[in-house]
Structure 1
Amino acid sequence: MNIEHLKLFLRLAATNNISQAGNDLGLSPAVASAHINKLEQGLGIRLVHRTTRKVSLTEEGETFLPHAEEVISSIETARASVGVGQASPKGRLRITAPASFGRMHIVSAMKGFLSLYPDIQVDIRLTDNIVDLVEGGFDIAIRDAELKDSTLIARKLSPDKRIICVSPDYLKKFGEPNSPQDLRDHQCVILNGLETWVFDTPAGHINIKPKGNFRTDNGEAMRDACVDGLGIAMNATWSVYRHLQSGELVQILKEYPLISNAAIWAVYPSSRLLAPKVRAFIDYLSEQYGRYPYWDESLNK
């Protein structure tokens, strides 16, 4: 049994796309297809269903998959133990990420990443929609939402701290709320999907449903409306840290921290044979952000 054929099969199981799986391993679509055919012939079973759009594993392929993973994992472990088998990251890396976070903190990280890995070509799609990684042919997704698909693996890259912000102009006109309950008497800028703000207070958790005459589905628009004095807003620190530094926004209600489990995640299909380019990207972002990301650190200077 050819080890390279097994590696290709694992990438095919992760991507459901022969061309992409072959590209990840430096193979043309024709050669990749031929390798899968040889693997099937050697086993005497059909591993994949082929259609004009994509491929999927057969029942036999699903049964074979964990055994193939064990074989490759054992081989890679053995090679690493004697200092060989370190694959150089290369090829096209397809990423999907939230529009605002991607523009501010992923695109800005590309110069450093690509200087370390010049053989990788990055193709990034910035969208606030949750896309299907397999259907879209993506290697990895950066998300700030809860992972709901159990077929995916998520690695936490950094916390996603939320705070209450307001512009100095708004404070001059309407004053500063002294407690979460006071927000009921103020105009707030509301992000769709986050209509309830939960605060930690000495009396326990308090839920506040803010009201206001401006709401949006875009985090940057919410932030900019807050800067313009349209109201008080709940913002992620990664979005507003520069505005806080410049004085365009100020944090309020510091004594009542928001309750949130938000985090920035790297999400990828579940496969032990993680492509070197994907592993390199995840490790790079994890190092860049860390447990205490630079956007939070900058606020304490």
Structure 2
Amino acid sequence: MNIEHLRLFVRLTATRNISVAGQELGLSPAVASTHISKLEQSLGVRLVHRTTRKVSMTEEGKAFLPHAEEVLSSVEAARAAVGGGSAIPTGTLRVAAPASFGRMHLMPALKTFLIDYPELAVDFRFSDTIVDLVEGGFDIAIRNAELEDSTLIARKLAPDTRRVYASPDYLAKHGEPSTPEDLLKHECINLMGLESWVFETPTGKQTIKTKGTLRTDNGEVVRDACANGLGIAFSSTWCAYQHVKRGELVPILRDFPLVSGTAIWAVYPTSRLLAPKVRAFIDYFAAHFGSTPYWDKQ
């Protein structure tokens, strides 16, 4: 059984595209297709269904995948034990990320990343929709929600601290709430589906059902409306920190922190055959953000 055929098959299951998988390994579409056919012939089963648009695994392919990954992982471990192998990230890295976070915190750091890894190209998809990594052919996704899919591996890149804010203009006109209950007397701006704010108090968790005339599905709109004096809102510190620096937003209710289990995660389909390009991306941004990211250093 040819190791390169196995390597191509594993990448094909991630990208769902023979041309893309072949390109990552320096193969033309025709050669990549031939390699998969030879692997299927050697096993005597069909591993993938091929159409003009995408590739999907057969039941035999799904059953074969973990064994192929295990063989490749063992080979890489053996080569590493004697100093062999190449860990240089190459090819195209396909990344899905939330639009606001990607624009504000991934793109500004990308130049240095690409300088460090000149043989690597990056395809970004910025969207607040949770994508299917395998179906979409993504190598990695950045998420700031709890991980529900147990088939994915997650590594925390940074905390996602959330605070309650108001503009100086709003506070001058309406006063500053001193307790969570005071929010019931104020105009609050909400993200759709997150109208109930949970606070840590000396007597335990307290949930406040906030209300207001503005709701939206976009965090940046909530932040900007708050900065424009339309009401009180909560926001992630990574989203609001620049407005705080400029004095456009003021953190309030600091003695009553919001209860939130969110963080910035890097997720990927498997850890048994982590491609060098994926590891490089995760390590780079984990170091770039650090244990206390720059947006929380104020």
Preserved contact between residue 99 and residue 128 of structure 1 (Cα < 8 Å): yes
Residue 193 of structure 1 corresponds to 193
Change (3 A) 1:17 1:149: farther
**Residue 201 of structure 1 aligns to which amino acid in structure 2?**
T
1:138-157 alignment runs, 5 A limit: 138-157=138-157
Q: Who is 1:77 aligned against?
A: 77
Q: Contact 2:15–2:136 (CA<8 Å) still a contact in 1?
A: no
Distance (Å, rounded) in 1 between the aligned partners of 2:18 and 2:5: 12
1:266 partner letter = A
1:28 match: 28
Query: Does the aligned pair in 1 maintain the 2:143–2:267 contact within 8 Å?
Result: yes
Structure 1 counterpart of 2:62, which letter?
E
- Show the counterpart of 1:287: 287
Contact 1:98 1:129 in 2 (8 A): yes
Which amino acid is the alignment partner of residue 248 of structure 1? Answer: E
Deviation string for 1:199-234 (max 9, x for gaps)? 000111000111111111111111111111111110
Q: What's the offset of the Cα at 1:45?
A: 2.1
1:168–1:248 contact (8 Å) kept in structure 2:
yes
- For residues 161-240 of structure 1, the aligned pairs below 5 Å read 161-240=161-240
Match of residue 57 from structure 1: 57
Structure 2 Cα separation of the partners of residues 54 and 48 of structure 1 = 10
Counterparts of 1:51 and 1:188 in 2: how far apart (Å)? 51
Q: 2:259 corresponds to which letter in structure 1?
A: I
- Give the equivalent residue in structure 2 for 1:122: 122
Amino acid at match of 2:206: I
Q: Cα offset for 1:196?
A: 1.0
Task: Tell me the amino acid that sits aligned with residue 217 of structure 2.
Answer: D
In 1, Cα distance between equivalents of 2:23 and 2:149: 26
Superposed CA deviations along residues 51-101 of structure 1, whole A, max 9, x for unmatched, are: 232222222222222221111111111111222212311222221211110
**For 1:152 and 1:17, how far apart are their aligned partners in 2?**
20
Q: Which residue does 1:137 correspond to in 2?
A: 137
* Other structure's SS at 2:211 match: coil
Q: Which runs of 5+ in 1 are unaligned?
A: none
Partner of 1:243: 243
Please list, as runs of the form range in 1=range in 2, the aligned pairs for 1:31-46 lying within 5 A after superposition. 31-46=31-46
Contact kept in structure 2, 1:14 and 1:270, CA below 8 Å = no
CA distance in 2, matches of 1:287, 1:265: 13
Q: Quote how far apart the aligned CAs of 1:271 are.
A: 5.6
Separation in 2, partners of 1:295, 1:29 = 44
Q: What is the count of residue pairs matched by the alignment?
A: 298
1:77-116 mapped onto 2 (5 Å cutoff): 77-116=77-116
CA contact (8 A) 2:161 2:237 kept: yes
TM-score w.r.t. structure 1 length? 0.95
Q: Distance in 2 between matches of 1:260 and 1:23?
A: 42
* 1:7-22 correspondence runs (5 A): 7-22=7-22
The answer to which of 42-51 and 72-81 deviates more is 42-51
- C-alpha distance in 2, partners of 1:193/1:30? 49
TM-score under structure 2 length normalisation: 0.96
Aligned equivalents of 1:63, 1:222: Cα separation in 2:
46
Deviations 1:101-138 (A, max 9, x none): 01000111111111101111222121111122233332
Q: Distance in 1 between matches of 2:168 and 2:45?
A: 69
Given residue 84 of structure 2, which amino acid in structure 1 is its aligned partner? Answer: V
> Deviation string for 1:173-213 (max 9, x for gaps)?
11110000000001111111211110000111000111111
Kept after mapping to 2: 8 A contact 1:165/1:252:
yes
Which residue of the partner structure matches residue 254 of structure 2? 254
Does the CA-based 8 Å contact 1:113-1:284 persist in structure 2? yes
Q: Secondary structure at the match of 1:291?
A: coil
| 1:142-187 Cα distance to aligned partner (Å, 9 max, x none) | 1112223333222221110000111111111111100000000011
Cα contact 1:24–1:275 (8 A) shared by 2? no
Distance in 2, matches of 1:23 and 1:14, equals: 13
d(CA) in 2 for partners of 1:151, 1:23: 26
Q: Residue 5 of structure 1 corresponds to which residue in structure 2? A: 5
Distance in 2 of aligned mates of 1:98 and 1:180: 29
